[in-house]
Amino acid sequence: MTINLKTVAEYAGVSSSTVSRVISGKSYVNEDTRERVLKAVKELGYTPNTLAKGLKMGRTNTIALMVPSIENEIFPIVTRGVENTARKNGFTVILCNTDENAEVEKEYINKLQNRWIDGFIISSMLPSSDHIRKLKADGFPVVLTSRFYDDSIDAVVIDNYRAAYDAVSYLIRTGHKRIAIAAGRKDLSIYQKRLQGYMDALKAHGIEVDESLIMEETSGPNSFYYLTQNLLNRGIRPDAVFATSDPKAIVIIRAIKDRGLRIPADISVMGFDNIEVSALIDPPLSTVSQPLYEMGVLAAKKLIDMIKAKEKNVIPSKPVIDYMNTDIIIRKSTR
C-alpha cells in the first residue's frame, strides 16, 4: 500500500491541506489536530516527498560540490565544512570527484544542470572559467573555492600570492638566502601566484632569483624526490626549500635525508597547506596553514544565501571574493 498525504489525512480524519500544514509547520493548526496528524504520520510510517515539495517551492535543497581529487588531502576537509553547513540548513550535498580531468568536470556540470540541482560549489582545475560563467549565466548560483577564482563569480579563497610571499620572507628573516622552490603545475593559478610570491619576496629583500633553484612539477608530488636529488647532484645546495604544498615538502624531506643531510641544520623545508600528517612526520613540518574547514563553511553559507535570494527573485549583488587568512606554523623543519 502506498502511503501518501491523502492516506494520512483519511487515517487522521482531517483534510489533506491540514496534514500539509502540520508537516510544513508554516501555519497554525489546533494542538489536538496536530497531535492526531503526527500520530498518523508515525503509525503509517509516512515520509514526505521532499522532492515534490522542493519543486513546488522552486528548489530541492540539493547542492553539488565539485572537487578535483578526493585523494588530495585538502579537499576532504573543505568537503566536511560544506556538508556540515548544508546539513544544518536542510540541504543535501552531491559530491563530484573530477579526477583532475577537465572533460569530466565539464561533463558533470552539463549533466547536473538537468538534475534539479539548486547551486554549485566548484573547486575547478581549469585555467579557463568559460563553462562556469555559462553556468552562472544560465541562472545557477555558483561559488568557487580553493583552487581558482574569477572576479565575475563569487568565491572563497586565500591570497596565495601573499601567503607565499610571507612564508619566503620568514625564511629570509631567519637567515636563509639561497632558497629553492618546489613549484606547482603551471596551468593552475594558485601555483602561479605562489611562484610569483616567492620571486617577489626574494627581490624585495635584495636577493636575485636563481632559475636553477626553481624545481617545476613534472608528474605529481613524488616527482620532487628526483628533482631534489638532481638539484643536489648538480652541486646546488639551497639552505632552504619552499614547497608549494605539504605533499611536495614531505617528499623533499625524504630526498634530503636520503642524501645524509640534516633537516633543518643543513637545509630547512617549509610546506604549504598544513595537512594533518605534516605535524606527524620527522621532523614535523613548518608550513602555511589554510583554514580549509572554514572555507567550506563560508562557501556553503554563501551558496545557500544565493539560492534563497533567487527563490525570492532578489537581483544578485555584485560578486564578492572572500579572502580567508592564512598562518605560518613553525615546527622543527626550519631553523
Domains present along the chain, CATH in parentheses: 5-48 (1.10.260.40), 57-157+292-324 (3.40.50.2300), 160-290 (3.40.50.2300)
CA distances from 150 to 62, 130, 140, 162, 309 (A): 24, 10, 16, 18, 21
In 15-45, which positions are buried (b, 16+ CB within 10 angstroms) versus exposed (e)?
A: eeebbbbbbeeeeebeeebbebbeebbeeee
Confidence of residue 95 (pLDDT cuts 50, 70, 90): very high
User: Residue 324: in which H helix or E strand, if any?
Assistant: strand 321-324
Please state the φ and ψ torsions of residue 158, each to the nearest 5 degrees.
-110, 165
Tens-place pLDDT, residues 123-182: 986 666 788 888 888 889 999 998 766 788 999 999 999 999 999 999 999 999 999 999
Say yes or no to pLDDT of 258 above 60.
Answer: yes
pTM summary value: 0.81
Q: Which of 106-115, 193-202, 288-297 has the lowest mean pLDDT?
A: 106-115
Confidence of residue 49 (pLDDT cuts 50, 70, 90): low
Q: What is the DSSP letter of 279?
A: G
CA distance 62 to 55: 11
DSSP H stretches of helix in 89-234 = 102-112, 130-137, 160-173, 189-204, 223-233
Mean pLDDT over residues 100-116, rounded? 84
SS3 category, 42: helix
- As separate numbers, helices (DSSP H) first and strands (DSSP E) second, the chain gives 12, 12
> Longest C-alpha distance within the chain, in Å?
88
CA distance 208 to 201: 10
